[in-house]
Structure 1
Amino acid sequence: MAKNSHNAGRGPSQRQLRVGELIRRNLSEILMRGDIHDPDLNRISITVGEVRCTPDLHIATAFILPLGGEGAEDALSLLRKNRHEIRRMIGKKMALKHTPELRYEIDMTFDQMDATRRLLDNDKVKRDVALPDEEGDI
């Protein structure tokens, strides 16, 4: 049996969720206050939508999106460039034995929500999901 196979198919543990949320809050605060010594990064307003941790808590992936969605790739490269300083700052704020390695990805949640909204606005889909009226007609 593979290592950690008992977690296969399950969602994240309470500890993963708690650590991920703590990292998300601290990362958001660091970015909001402009604590990083990179003026290019401090000029960008970045939203941290979610942080997911691996089961062993060694890697944390932050899903980010700049305000307005413009310049996402630039924000990603600036965060990756400053990952050591950010990790050190988060480590100081958190009481963990080991500060996870931080990785960054673009948060696609908003795009997925827009696509779902467009799909639900489609007349064919509206017709297919419509409830019958009181008389039983569709």
Structure 2
Amino acid sequence: MESKRQQKFAGVIQQDLAEIFQREGMSFLPNMLVTITKVRMTPDLAIARVFLSFFNSQDAALALSTIKAHSNEIRYKLGSRIRNQARVVPSLEFFIDDTSEYVNRMDQIFDKISKEPRQPDTEEE
């Protein structure tokens, strides 16, 4: 369970990272939209686990490795934005958020179930 402090700081990190990716993300990921879906902070606020979703991407793993390669640059830009709000700029760990894939897979399963013929109830009273 995250504390209010962790949640509040995660919101600040998420908002600032979103602006960084929106304005400067095209330099290392051209023609791709990166969405920060969730940020989780460790209790000491030293590590930010950032979950990303990629749109217009053929290979999300390649996009993630590109972002990880630029993580020091991203952390530096984040630090310049939050320097008055945080004592220490957290280390950034990036992960692929597969929630949308999970939702799509569940939708397919439910569609498949709804198309199957219903079996009559066999309850005897």
Equivalent residues in 2 for 1:23-34 (5 A)?
23-34=13-24
Is 2:91 the counterpart of 1:79?
no
**8 Å Cα contact 1:20/1:60 also seen in 2:** yes
Point out where structure 2 has 5 or more consecutive residues left out of the alignment: 119-125
Task: Pick one of 10, 13, 28 that aligns with 1:40.
Answer: 28
Q: Which amino acid aligns with 1:123?
A: S
Alpha-carbon distance in structure 2 between the residues aligned to 1:54 and 1:89: 20
Q: Which amino acid aligns with 2:34?
A: I
Name the Cα RMSD after superposition: 2.2
**8 Å Cα contact 1:63/1:106 also seen in 2:** yes
For 1:54, the equivalent position in structure 2 comes to 42
- Where has structure 1 moved over 6 Å in runs of 4 or more? none
Is 2:82 the counterpart of 1:103?
no
TM-score (norm 2): 0.79
The Cα of 1:69 is off from its aligned counterpart by 4.9
Q: Equivalent residue of 1:41, what SS?
A: coil
Alpha-carbon distance in structure 2 between the residues aligned to 1:100 and 1:52: 11
Alpha-carbon distance in structure 2 between the residues aligned to 1:25 and 1:12: 18
Q: Equivalent residue of 1:55, what SS?
A: coil
Alpha-carbon distance in structure 1 between the residues aligned to 2:105 and 2:39: 23
The Cα of 1:23 is off from its aligned counterpart by 0.9
The Cα of 1:42 is off from its aligned counterpart by 4.6
Alpha-carbon distance in structure 1 between the residues aligned to 2:66 and 2:100: 21
Point out where structure 1 has 5 or more consecutive residues left out of the alignment: 1-10, 128-138
Count matched residues. 114
| Cα distance per residue 1:99-128 (max 9 Å; x no partner) | 11001000011112223323433239xx7x
Identity %: 31
Q: Which shows bigger deviation, 42-51 or 85-94? A: 42-51
Task: Give the direction of change, closer, same or farther, for the CA distance of 1:99–1:105 in structure 2 (3 Å limit).
Answer: same
Q: Using CA pairs below 8 Å that are at least 6 residues apart, which structure has the higher relative contact order?
A: 2
